[in-house]
Amino acid sequence: MMQKRKRVALVANKNKPAACQRAAETAAWLAERAEVVGVIADAESDLAALRPDLVVVFGGDGTVLNAAARLGECEAPMLTVHLGRLGYLAEVQPADLRPALERALAGHFRLSRRMRLVAVIKREGDEVWRGIAINEFALLTGQPGRAAHFEVLVDDRPLTRFAADGVIVATATGSTAYSLSAGGPILNPELRAMLLVPICPHHLANRPLVLGDGETLRVRHLEDTSVPLAADGHRVRPIARNESILIRPAAKDLCLIVAEASGRYDILRQKLGWGG
C-alpha cells in the first residue's frame, strides 16, 4: 500500500524577504515529496483550517509564536527554521533544513511537547473572550510607576492580593521571556507548570510562584479603570473591574520538532552570558 503523502504548511514572515524566498524554494522541493497545503506569509490566516500533518516555520521566535497561536489547539508537529536573531524556539539551521525535512516526513524525529495556556474572560459569569498563549498572558497598567491592585485565586480559593505594575502568568517555555525580565525563575521548557509573576510589586512578600498544571488561576483587577491584557506580547483587550480572567493549561500541547541533542542550555549560556 502506498503511504499517504503528508500535508505540509509552510509559514514565513512577510517582512523578511529571505524567509519568504526560503519558504518558496522549500515548497518547490517538497512538491514531489508531500502535499503542500499552503505557503503562508500573512500573520492572520487560520493554520488549523489547513489540517496540516507538519508545519514548517521560517523566522525567529516571534514568527514561531504567531504561527503557534494560529494553530489553536492543533497538535501538528512544527519544524522551526532559524532565520532570526538568537532565540529559544527556532531549532533548525537553514543548511540543515532538507535533511531535517526528510527525517520529519519519514516520521523520524523527537518531539518537545510544550504546555500552552488558555485564558477565558468572564463578566458576571458569562464568557466574553477566549484566547491561547505559548509564552504568557500579562495584565499591565501601561503606566510606569502607577500600580494597580490585583486579586489572585487558585481553584477559586483566595491566594493573594497585591499592588503592582502588572502580573504575568507564564508557561515553562515563557520562563525565558517576559517572566524572566520581571524576575521569574527559569524552568526546563518541557515542564508542565505555570508561573505567577508580579511585575514590580509594592511588597517584598509578593514573590514569583510556580503552580502545577492541574490548577486554574483566576485574576481580578480591583481598580475602577480597565487594564490591558496581552498574550505573547500582543495586546488583545482591556479587562474591566467587573471582569475576571481564568487561566489554565490548554488541553493540547504545542509540539516542536527538536534535534536529538537539544542545545537549549547552550542557547541559555549565550543569551545570558553565563561562563564569561
CATH of the domain at 101: 3.40.50.10330
The verdict on residue 237 lying in a domain is yes
pLDDT of residue 271: 72
Residues 137 and 184 occupy one common structural domain: yes
Residues 183 and 194 occupy one common structural domain: yes
pLDDT of residue 261: 58
pLDDT of residue 276: 62
The verdict on residue 179 lying in a domain is yes
Residues 124 and 237 occupy one common structural domain: yes
61 is catalytic: yes
How many of the other CB atoms lie within 10 Å of CB of 107? 9
pLDDT of residue 224: 84
pLDDT of residue 2: 47
Residues 224 and 123 occupy one common structural domain: yes
pLDDT of residue 175: 96
Residues 195 and 240 occupy one common structural domain: yes
Positive or negative, the Cα torsion across 60, 64, 65, 67? positive
Q: What is the mean pLDDT of the chain?
A: 90
Residues 67 and 178 occupy one common structural domain: no
pLDDT of residue 65: 92
Calpha distance 206→169 (Å, rounded): 14
Q: Active-site residue among 61, 126, 155, 156?
A: 61
| Distance in Å from the first CA to the final CA of the chain | 56
pLDDT of residue 86: 62
CATH of the domain at 130: 2.60.200.30
C-alpha cell recorded at residue 101: 525535512
Q: Has residue 131 got a pLDDT over 50?
A: yes
Q: How many residues does the chain have?
A: 276
* φ, ψ of residue 187 in degrees (nearest 5): -115, 150
pLDDT of residue 273: 78
Calpha distance 198→138 (Å, rounded): 10
- Parallel, antiparallel or unpaired: strands 217-221 and 243-249: antiparallel
Residues 133 and 177 occupy one common structural domain: yes
Q: How confident is the model at residue 149 (pLDDT cuts 50, 70, 90)?
A: very high
Q: Has residue 1 got a pLDDT over 50?
A: no
The verdict on residue 38 lying in a domain is yes
Note the pLDDT tens digit of each residue in 24-70.
Answer: 999 999 999 999 999 999 988 999 999 999 999 998 889 999 999 99
- Parallel, antiparallel or unpaired: strands 254-258 and 243-249: unpaired
Residues 55 and 97 occupy one common structural domain: yes
CB 33 within 8 A of CB 105: yes
Q: Running DSSP on this structure, what letter comes out for residue 193?
A: E
Residues 50 and 87 occupy one common structural domain: yes
Q: How confident is the model at residue 91 (pLDDT cuts 50, 70, 90)?
A: confident
Q: How many domains would you assign to the chain?
A: 2
Residues 80 and 134 occupy one common structural domain: no
The verdict on residue 28 lying in a domain is yes
Average the pLDDT over 248-269 and give the result.
82
The verdict on residue 20 lying in a domain is yes
pLDDT of residue 83: 83
The verdict on residue 2 lying in a domain is no
Residues 150 and 42 occupy one common structural domain: no
Q: Has residue 103 got a pLDDT over 70?
A: yes
The verdict on residue 125 lying in a domain is yes
The verdict on residue 1 lying in a domain is no
Supply the range of the domain harboring residue 127: 117-249
CB 246 within 8 A of CB 256: no
Residues 180 and 108 occupy one common structural domain: no
